[in-house]
Structure 1
Amino acid sequence: MKTFYFIAIVVIAGTFQSCKKYMDMEHYFKDRMNIDTLFVRKDYADQWLADVYTHLREENLDVASKDFAPFNLISDDMFFGDRGDELDSRSYKNYKNGEYNEGWTQRSWGSCYQGIRKATIYIYNIDRNRQMSAEQIATGKAEARFLRAYYYWLLLRKYGPVPLVPEQGIDYTRPYEELAIPRSPYDSCVAYITRELATAALDLPLSTTSRDKVRPTKGAALAARAKVYLYAASPEFNGNTEMADLIDNEGHQLISQSYNDEKWARAAAAAKDVIDLGVYRLFTAPFNATDQGPAQPKTIVPPFHPKYSNASFPNGWSDIDPFESYRQLFNGAITASANPELIFSRVTELSGVGPEAMAKHQTPYSMGGWNAHGITQKQCDAYYMNDGADVPLNPRTPGFTTNDQDHLPLPAGVSLQYANREPRFYASVAYNGSIWYRLSVVNASLRSKQVFYYRGEPDGKQPASPQFHVRTGLGIKKYVNPTDSHDGKEAGSFVIPKYEPAIRYAEVLLIYAEALNELGGSYNIPDYTGTKSHSIGRNIQEMSYAISQVRIRGGLPDFDGNVYGSKEMFRKALKRERQIELLGENHRYYDLRRWKDAPVEEATPVMGCNMDMTVAQRELFHTPVVIPSFPTIFVKKMYLWPISHEELRRNKKLTQNPGWTMPY
């Protein structure tokens, strides 16, 4: 029976891999020989499991350059400008116009299914190992089960409902048409993934060593489970009648047409499972932790508040540095193993791919970077003032700083509309005239520079380098460490290694608050072990417990009672909080779709500074204008990514997502 099973699983996998022919018998015999021998030995089994992990990288990263994670840079908050050629299938315009189908960004389909296949083979064969203890076998199975579920989740998030490969295998001697697998309903995919993650969590450890940080923990499985439930509860997949035409090969609807309030309760309970572990907390840097001399930016102290200024975190910010607490999360200042907030990360060592690549793309051209990533005016205006008030827009704050002391941390010559912002703004946004650092270079005169984006400036709009300028005049500093130097010509320069924040505790807290807010009733939801239940309902105290930690860490007061008292007001505030807190972590693109906000938000013209203005016209430069080179369009088909024609031709029971074409 086991031999037959592996014949089946290999052939099934072939239907999802562009690099393997459907009946590639040479591949079958190679795999059968390996399966009969390698799982008996620990070293071979460990190598197999390590190979399962390899599919988490490149096209399946969350934080990476646009070639691997374009979704991080094609929503309404961020953009890239260094692929200006419209003939390039991966240009910004092609993504924003919905002119995509085949190519590099479709590799995730085959890669995920290869990972699913390899994980399944491991799960069903590791018990024959004679060199591993029962505990080691259980942990290995749990890791493989997590990976398999996570690959399905990546597919579900991008493509919507996908085929669930039968674990029992099928008869490979049947005709090709009978071996094809249809897409499973969205709720069936969710049920399978969340069940697998809960099962994996039972045998995964609470923590790992620094050497094994890439391996999933109990918390990683439970946090991923909460994410899956959150999406399932959201408007895109919970009673979405606008997606009634998303059907399988027999015409069955793949998204439930009836709203189910209990789905929010499941998401809240899943997040509560993570919170109740008691393992994670938000990272905070001690007050004045980085006061290392004039080369460092001054510590940003929130204005006095009678409730928060004299209280310790999480009740206040008296003992923390909100600016550094947020900045150090992403710039490599702390290691992955030392970060109490990090739940799951690929901890990629590929410097040209992950957060380090993001930092290079964001660094000014005059300092060895590519000056290609930026944020929109909408994202800039989303950040609060330092007292928690909204940014004044009509009119914007006029005038410019005249020195580097009166409006810390702003240097001289900077628009006052960037003064008195919340600490996360200064940790994330490279406004016009901000100071950039590269402290690792030997030449002290090159360690800091005030960078302007006016036309004619080295980092402004120039005919000689049309792709390498920040199109909105609003750059990004998230993931950039003040020590980083991307100019290899400077002696002694280096870049601080960074890790990907795929899932962190702040996200779990925001999931919990969002799910609680949406509830209309009360429910008893079993925990992941099935041995106890959570009593779940809209609970203002619990909502405040979750979201206030995120805001206070960022130097902002909690919301007032009016916000908590209104489901609509809190929903709006929660969405804004995710937009700020999770910038550049591959959330906004998917959030706008699951909330069904994309038709409005992504079709709104992109605004930014007037990049045609010189320093002599600085008032006009800072008067927002529409960026004409950035298209803004959203049509229904852009909710889900198209399935490639190659896969549709291979599997005749696959159906295409609404609005996309089928192969000839």
Structure 2
Amino acid sequence: MKNKKLYVVLMLLLGTGVISSCTKDYLKSDQYFKDRLTTEKVFKSKLYSEEWLANVFLEFKGENADVASKGLTPHCFADDMYYGDRDKDYDPSKNELSYNMFKMGLYTENDKQGTWAQCYRGIRNATTFIQHIYMNTEMSTAEIADYRGQARFARAYLYWLLLRKYGPIPLLPDEGLDYTDSYDNLAVPRNTYEECANYISDEMLLAAKEMEALGMKRSQDGSARPSVGAALATRAKALLYAASPLANGNNASIGARLVDNQGKRLLYAEYKEEKWAKAAAAARDVMELGVYQLYWTGLQTTGNDATVIPPKDNNFSEKSWPDGWANIDPAKSYAQVFDGTLPASGNPELIFTRGTNQENEGIDAMVAHQLPRSATGWNTHGLTQKLVDAYYMDNGLDVPGMDKEIGRGNGSNRLSGYVSQEDYDKGKYKPLRPGVSLQYANREPRFYASVAFNGSFWTLLNETQERNRNQQVFYYRDNDKGNGFNSSNAYWLRTGFGVKKFVHQNDTYEGGSMARIVPKAEPAIRYADILLMYAEALNELGGSYSIPSWRGGVYTISRDIAEMKKGIQPVRIRGGVPDYSVSVYSNKVELRKTLKRERFIELMGEGQRYYDLRRWMDAPVEEALPIYGCNILMNQKDRDLFHQPVAVWALKTTFADKMWFWPISHSELKRNKNLTQNPGWTYND
């Protein structure tokens, strides 16, 4: 029976056509299985075994990318970012998932379903590999263990992608399924969220141990292969999600309505604080590897792009990295993590990445849609006023007028006035240029590395004509370079805020050529996320817990402020922002609120916000708030009105129960009679 099962899987593999080479990068493909191979022939051969495993990692591409443009992963767009193209309201020929359709829940049970098919195909093939790699006669014992660990990582990571998107999903038997068995025996019901998270945790722990001898620093070699750190980091993320309100003590309607085929709840109503302790310990496991650190680059004292030094704060400003920012450039240190300055092999912060091997809707396509029209970019990916307001002032205070329009303001008003030529000549308000609103002055460094505000500066150094480089870009309606509102097309920023994050100083889209965009490694999991996860999990604790480490020791886990600072301070220092106050650290509710804001800022555009809002159960409020932005209908002569936030008529918002999880496709529900649909979605066409 085993040979029969494997033969079926082999046929599935052969049917996909292309198999990847493992010689350097699992995500490149140029080799083929050309004949029918027996179990023994495949797994005795190192080459064939590598090809099999490479095929598993092919399933990480496409809609399974963590960070990509909306054609693959609209989940990268929540209440922070939006996209304006693909909208039939402006182009009737479009029949695609627009941002408004996405935000209004107008997608269907058939939209973006590549995740389900790819993940389960990869899971089946990874299981076959795990079961048979022991046969290999061309690898050492250590290599066999390492390859088994990589396959185990792949299987667990694919489950993680499913859990995050669809909620609780069926866990297939580790021994695999006999696909010649009866239909009834192949129908596997959904497991609970806790069962799924615990399975991912256990498998990632085992994968880390299997990879320990050869895979400790593999993520730093540019191969896009999994490492010990990648396994432990994914484990931490799964446990953090399982500890969060959506899956831990959920007494909302979604918790009661999401059930398996026997009516059993899949999201537990009982709250268990210890889940937070387990998540914190898992994040600490990654931290104590000593492999990862936040990237930084040194202070630059001369030139047009000299470091904008944050003001003194009597703490971080007088100390060198890692205790302070005195010798670093915070804006460049943050920007270069994403913009392609660093290859994956040179980025000490990347824990897991698919490298630069992304499909047509990868990060390069995302950047093409961020670039202004004057650089022949599509000029359609933008930011919301809520996100722009979230960034701190350079002294760590809130920006005046923050969230005033959505009723959360502190009574202050937005700043008026603009940078004058005299201000600019005197070096005041760096890095702002003449004509820029003072609302964007004296903001924290991450703001300038991320936000394309009205009048921001774009270098565009890959433009062939020098006159097209080094542009100050305005988004007024009467902008003569076509960057402002245009009723005849969709290529304008709905809020008047664009996206600078991921954009390299050389990037341009001249001639519609992606070759003019610097390749960028996908930040699927990075160290800053782990640090903030550690602080978040610790903050939720009221008691003390003894939790085993991955290597067999024991951590004492509690709400220890010194430990929480280990997660928070490195992120703030690298960002050039002062530390939180003592009162914030001492107040669980205030720190929870502040950490959510920190993730909003630090992880913007990395596919985290959509899922964070759901696991925190904040989505019904945050996703439904009206989107505000600049009044993009105003011309330059009405610049005061342009900078007065208004509700954006072109961007719609809502939240319904059906939007907690992605729908399961009708075809899968027909195929598996024991599979239940997510609440709010239908079973049949």
Q: Normalising to structure 1: TM-score of the pair?
A: 0.93
Aligned 1:458-607 pairs, distance under 5 A: 458-465=482-489, 467-488=490-511, 494-529=516-551, 531-607=552-628
Question: d(CA) in 1 for partners of 2:682 and 2:581?
Answer: 49
Tell whether 2:343 aligns with 1:335. yes
Give, in angstroms, the shift of residue 174 of structure 1: 4.5
Give, in angstroms, the shift of residue 198 of structure 1: 0.3
Question: d(CA) in 1 for partners of 2:10 and 2:625?
Answer: 47
What SS class does the counterpart of residue 482 from structure 1 fall into?
coil
Give, in angstroms, the shift of residue 548 of structure 1: 0.9
CA gap 1:59/1:172 in 2 versus in 1, 3 angstroms: closer
CA gap 1:378/1:302 in 2 versus in 1, 3 angstroms: same
Output one character per residue of 1:602-635: Cα deviation in whole Å (capped at 9) or x when no partner: 1110000001100011000000000112111001
Give, in angstroms, the shift of residue 171 of structure 1: 5.2
- The one-letter code matched in structure 2 to 1:219 is G
Question: d(CA) in 1 for partners of 2:182 and 2:58?
Answer: 32
Question: d(CA) in 1 for partners of 2:509 and 2:669?
Answer: 43
Give, in angstroms, the shift of residue 7 of structure 1: 6.5
Tell whether 2:151 aligns with 1:144. yes
Output one character per residue of 1:213-272: Cα deviation in whole Å (capped at 9) or x when no partner: 300111111011100000000000001122122111111111111000000000000000
Give, in angstroms, the shift of residue 494 of structure 1: 2.5
Match of 1:451 in 2: 473
Does 124-133 or 573-582 show the bigger shift? 124-133
Match of 2:27 in 1: none
What SS class does the counterpart of residue 488 from structure 1 fall into?
helix
Match of 1:25 in 2: none
The answer for unaligned runs of 5 or more in structure 1 is 18-29
- The one-letter code matched in structure 1 to 2:668 is E
Give, in angstroms, the shift of residue 306 of structure 1: 1.9
Question: d(CA) in 2 for partners of 1:527 and 1:210?
Answer: 23
Give, in angstroms, the shift of residue 359 of structure 1: 1.2
Tell whether 2:92 aligns with 1:84. no
Tell whether 2:56 aligns with 1:52. yes
The answer for unaligned runs of 5 or more in structure 2 is 17-33, 402-411
Give, in angstroms, the shift of residue 4 of structure 1: 5.4
> Does structure 2 retain, via aligned residues, the 8 Å contact 1:526–1:532?
yes
Match of 1:230 in 2: 240
Question: d(CA) in 2 for partners of 1:632 and 1:212?
Answer: 40
Give, in angstroms, the shift of residue 307 of structure 1: 1.6
Match of 1:399 in 2: 417
Match of 1:362 in 2: 370
CA gap 1:209/1:552 in 2 versus in 1, 3 angstroms: closer
Output one character per residue of 1:124-161: Cα deviation in whole Å (capped at 9) or x when no partner: 11111111111111111000000000000000000000
Output one character per residue of 1:309-345: Cα deviation in whole Å (capped at 9) or x when no partner: 2101222111111011101110011121111111110
Give, in angstroms, the shift of residue 168 of structure 1: 2.5
Tell whether 2:114 aligns with 1:107. yes
Question: d(CA) in 1 for partners of 2:467 and 2:98?
Answer: 37
Tell whether 2:308 aligns with 1:300. yes
CA gap 1:85/1:337 in 2 versus in 1, 3 angstroms: same
Residue number among 67, 72, 78 corresponding to 1:68 in the alignment: 72
Output one character per residue of 1:380-421: Cα deviation in whole Å (capped at 9) or x when no partner: 000000000001003100011112232110000011000000
> Does structure 2 retain, via aligned residues, the 8 Å contact 1:513–1:544?
yes
> Does structure 2 retain, via aligned residues, the 8 Å contact 1:8–1:171?
no
> Does structure 2 retain, via aligned residues, the 8 Å contact 1:79–1:92?
yes
Match of 1:283 in 2: 295
Match of 1:22 in 2: none
Tell whether 2:667 aligns with 1:646. yes
CA gap 1:305/1:171 in 2 versus in 1, 3 angstroms: closer
Give, in angstroms, the shift of residue 356 of structure 1: 1.5
Give, in angstroms, the shift of residue 508 of structure 1: 0.5
> Does structure 2 retain, via aligned residues, the 8 Å contact 1:442–1:493?
no
- The one-letter code matched in structure 2 to 1:54 is L
> Does structure 2 retain, via aligned residues, the 8 Å contact 1:453–1:473?
yes
> Does structure 2 retain, via aligned residues, the 8 Å contact 1:388–1:556?
yes
> Does structure 1 retain, via aligned residues, the 8 Å contact 2:10–2:37?
no
Tell whether 2:463 aligns with 1:441. yes
Match of 1:24 in 2: none
> Does structure 2 retain, via aligned residues, the 8 Å contact 1:431–1:473?
yes
What SS class does the counterpart of residue 547 from structure 2 fall into?
strand
Question: d(CA) in 1 for partners of 2:464 and 2:664?
Answer: 51
Match of 1:270 in 2: 282
* Root mean square deviation, CA, Å: 2.1
Output one character per residue of 1:431-452: Cα deviation in whole Å (capped at 9) or x when no partner: 0011111112343222111111
> Does structure 2 retain, via aligned residues, the 8 Å contact 1:354–1:499?
no
Give, in angstroms, the shift of residue 63 of structure 1: 1.2
**Aligned residues between the structures:** 642
Residue number among 128, 131, 152 corresponding to 1:121 in the alignment: 128
- The one-letter code matched in structure 1 to 2:545 is Y
Question: d(CA) in 1 for partners of 2:179 and 2:241?
Answer: 35
Match of 2:677 in 1: 656
Match of 1:187 in 2: 194
Question: d(CA) in 2 for partners of 1:532 and 1:237?
Answer: 28
Q: Normalising to structure 2: TM-score of the pair?
A: 0.90
What SS class does the counterpart of residue 124 from structure 1 fall into?
helix
Aligned 1:121-270 pairs, distance under 5 A: 121-170=128-177, 172=179, 174-204=181-211, 205-208=215-218, 212-242=222-252, 243-270=255-282
CA gap 1:305/1:66 in 2 versus in 1, 3 angstroms: same
- The one-letter code matched in structure 2 to 1:134 is T
CA gap 1:444/1:32 in 2 versus in 1, 3 angstroms: closer
What SS class does the counterpart of residue 496 from structure 2 fall into?
coil
- The one-letter code matched in structure 1 to 2:158 is Y
